[in-house]
Structure 1
Amino acid sequence: MKPLKLLETTPGKYSLIMSTGGLPTDEAVSRSGHEPNGYFWDGVAEWVIRNQVPEVKGRVNSDSEAGMYCAYGTDREALATLGEAMARVANAPDTLLALITEAKNAGIEFDD
């Protein structure tokens, strides 16, 4: 699941986090006209949930900031599923570039 980490923050509550910057996809994000920050990755997560892991919709929440992507909730399985899907994108520049194009064409706004 690298570069994401799934943590139990308090008993029964979990956070899926990824520090931004230093990722294999940073250059691709910048080339696409975006900033590789947590808000950008929220848009990626929205697309991933909608198109790759729709079973987690409504089971996770988001609370990202500039330096970190963060999803959280009480459903560890949903967060783990999202983490695996996000890792496939975060580690593959070509996959991410294709996702950005598809997401923009579908009306996803990257709030970066």
Structure 2
Amino acid sequence: MTEAIDRPDLAPLSLFDTSPGNYSLILTDHHFAQAADLFEAVGQEASGYSWDAVAHTAVRVHAPELGDRIGGFDPEAGMMCVYGKDEAALRELGSILSSAFHDRAKLSALIEATDPGDWD
């Protein structure tokens, strides 16, 4: 049974306990429009796939040590999802992404730093 973990500091991302010892960090399309112009400036559509690319960049640029602690990435057009067994790693990534979401300069820098091969 999936249960939300109350983490308002991660907003607009949500952290879920999906099953004992398994967690998911989610950003849904309800929030994509707020940064659509930043993605469009680099020729990308604001989607779960684009946010996935930004999440990969956030790990590479800000927290490379998380790479081995995150289970994987599973985006869809309307949702970015990062999952794994290490709740603290997902919280840390969520904090980085939440901070960028609320600071257009930080988000723009992450978008600009995204490797062309990461855009799906």
TM-score scaled by length of structure 1: 0.86
- The match for 2:101 among 81, 87, 90 is 90
Shift of 1:88: 1.3
Percent of pairs with identical residues:
37
Unaligned regions of 5+ residues in structure 2, if any?
1-9
Shift of 1:29: 1.6
Q: Which has the higher contact order (CA 8 A, sep 6+)?
A: 1
Contact 2:24 2:82 in 1 (8 A): yes
Unaligned regions of 5+ residues in structure 1, if any?
none
1:52 aligns with 2:33: no
Contact 1:14 1:76 in 2 (8 A): yes
- The match for 2:74 among 46, 57, 63 is 63
1:12 aligns with 2:21: yes
Report Cα offsets for 1:13-33 as digits up to 9, x if no partner. Answer: 100001024343122222332
Structure 1 segments, 4+ long, off by >3 Å, are none
SS in 1 for 2:49: helix
1:30 aligns with 2:66: no
CA distance in 1, matches of 2:35, 2:44: 11
CA distance in 1, matches of 2:95, 2:23: 15
Name the structure with the higher helix share.
Answer: 2
- Size of the aligned set, in residue pairs, is 109
CA distance in 2, matches of 1:32, 1:67: 19
Contact 1:47 1:108 in 2 (8 A): no
